[in-house]
Amino acid sequence: MECKTCGKSLSSTDLLCSSCNTLNEFYVFKNSELQAQFTSKLNDLNKVIENVLPSVEYAWDESVSLYASTIEKAKAILKTDIIKDQVATKTFKDMDNLLQRCKSAEFHIALVGAIKAGKSTLINALLGYDLASTRVTPETASLTKFRSSKENNFVKVSFYTSDEWQRLWNSAKDSRAKVFLEEYAKLDAEKIKNDWLNQDSITVQCESIEALKEEIHKWSSSKTATHYFVKEVEVGLVDFDMPEGVVFVDTPGLDDVVAYRSDITRDYINRANAVLVCVKSDSLTGPEMATIYSVFANTRYNPEKVYIIATQLDTLNRPEENWKEQRVEWLKYITDEGAYGDPQLASRNLIPVSGYLYSLIKKYDAIEEGSDEYFELASILMKFRIMPQNVGEHAQRLLDFTGVDSLKRQIEKEVINNHKVLLIQDIRETYLLCKEDIRELTSKMKQGQLEVIEYSEKNIHEIQKRKAEREQELVEIETDKKELETLLTLVKQTTSSRVKELTEAIKGMAVQ
């Protein structure tokens, strides 16, 4: 069939024409009364479409604007009373995710992993400043974004709404997050809750890096009551050589005791355009493989956008020798179909780093003899059989070993230099997934309505009965789909025989 407006060839399950966004007329009725009712409802839906005005936020690219406009209108139709009950929550969530990507030309590089996997330390090494907190207690309870700024260093803070906070609070109680609840009470955070929930975002200009550090600490430290109500912290750096629109994101741990915060990270993996999965270099066991598999699942098995970062190399007993052994074992399992599915890609995207050693070497001249950092560096150097006073002559070897500069070059070459093209490709892929989901939904709706029409000559009780049966079938189909997705993910995460083999292999390695 053809679009009645522009003549483009359409499938019978296309909800909207992708060229002109005209609503597709699915049916032609023999019964004139039914045709009149259908035409009336179609006109009502067209009015809904006409009220969806194009947003200037999508105007940065013509193709992106078309994708967003189409999804906005499809969403408006699916939200109408006559349809919305037949649409799965995930469908709306996927559409919202796409529209969020389309709103600005931002390319997000997310660092994800378990708590204390070295995400914040690596961020600091990439930034060249110790801005992300690396304290023993998990500090990254909210998304923290880092980007370049043209004029001033700044910190922008966004807060939870009451509804978001209630979901977080319920999650903390359901998860039995004892420490979270105890610290919340100890800091008397309840007294200031209403001061921050539903508040507009705050932007603070900072004249120096020290002022920037203090401001970040003020809003993100787990030792301050305010941090409970902070949803997101965005940091702008003048001295950060990064294209405008490229954003590095430090995320809450995937194993956060408050499930709501872990879910923020999982949802964000879908939003991110590239993902650095941080895993401690000495601990690739079953749970770590589960983390890796879950990231690949959340990226729709698009392996090119995933980089597995083996962090904290300096914690190995003999870092250079031990990592060579570990790398061989890691590659055996990340080559699996649940991860890269390609030996060359797995080898290229497995990157070992030591963000902490990198930062220490970079500021070695400023480290005071006898300070905590001096002794920590000395302890690491002994693993390389290097005396502290000889750091200078071994500095380049150590910097090369940390892998940070190598990671920067690879990310710059493969991601940052091509970020605009990759961003539009990513948006297009997400759009096609949404389109296919909507097409599948439309097909089911059409089939259901056709069956109802077949009963239209029968008595009203039979019509109502069949309609109720059809609605129940849709519910069951959606339930089965969710259960299947959950089962597939569970199989990937926990039942892979290779993960079991890996766990045993790691236990038997006896790293020295």
Nearest to 72 by CA among 392, 365, 434: 434
51 versus 38: which is more confidently predicted?
Answer: 51
Nearest to 388 by CA among 396, 380, 371, 353: 380
**What does the angle CA 5 – CA 6 – CA 12 come to, to the nearest 5 degrees?**
80
* pLDDT tens per residue across span 72-98: 988 888 888 878 888 888 888 888 888
What distance lies between CA 54 and its chain's CA centroid?
26
30 versus 318: which is more confidently predicted?
Answer: 318
34 versus 217: which is more confidently predicted?
Answer: 217
pLDDT at 136: 41
pLDDT at 124: 86
Question: Is the pLDDT confidence value at 187 over 80?
Answer: yes
Question: Is the pLDDT confidence value at 120 over 50?
Answer: yes
- As given in the structure block, the two tokens for residue 266 are 């999982």
Question: Is the pLDDT confidence value at 184 over 80?
Answer: yes
Q: How confident is the model at residue 510 (pLDDT cuts 50, 70, 90)?
A: very low
Contacts of 301 (CB under 8 A, 6+ apart): none
* pLDDT tens per residue across span 1-48: 677 677 777 766 566 676 666 666 655 556 677 667 777 777 777 787
- CB-based contact 356:314 (threshold 8 Å): yes
For the segment 358-373, the average pLDDT, to the nearest whole number, is 88
**What does the angle CA 173 – CA 177 – CA 183 come to, to the nearest 5 degrees?**
105
Average pLDDT, the chain: 81
452 burial type by CB count under 10 A (0-12 exposed, 13-18 middle, 19+ buried): middle
For the segment 61-77, the average pLDDT, to the nearest whole number, is 89
Question: Is the pLDDT confidence value at 469 over 60?
Answer: yes
Q: Are strands 107-113 and 246-250 parallel, antiparallel or unpaired?
A: parallel
How far is the C-alpha of 253 from the C-alpha of 262, rounded, in Å? 6
Question: Is the pLDDT confidence value at 167 over 60?
Answer: yes
130 burial type by CB count under 10 A (0-12 exposed, 13-18 middle, 19+ buried): middle
Contacts of 265 (CB under 8 A, 6+ apart): 112, 251, 252, 253, 254, 256
- Helical spans, DSSP H, in 7-61: 32-50
| DSSP secondary structure string for all residues of 202-232 | EEEEESSHHHHHHHHHHHH-TTSGGGGGEEE
Q: How confident is the model at residue 405 (pLDDT cuts 50, 70, 90)?
A: very high
Nearest to 297 by CA among 281, 275, 279: 275
Neighbours of 79 (CB within 10 A): 13
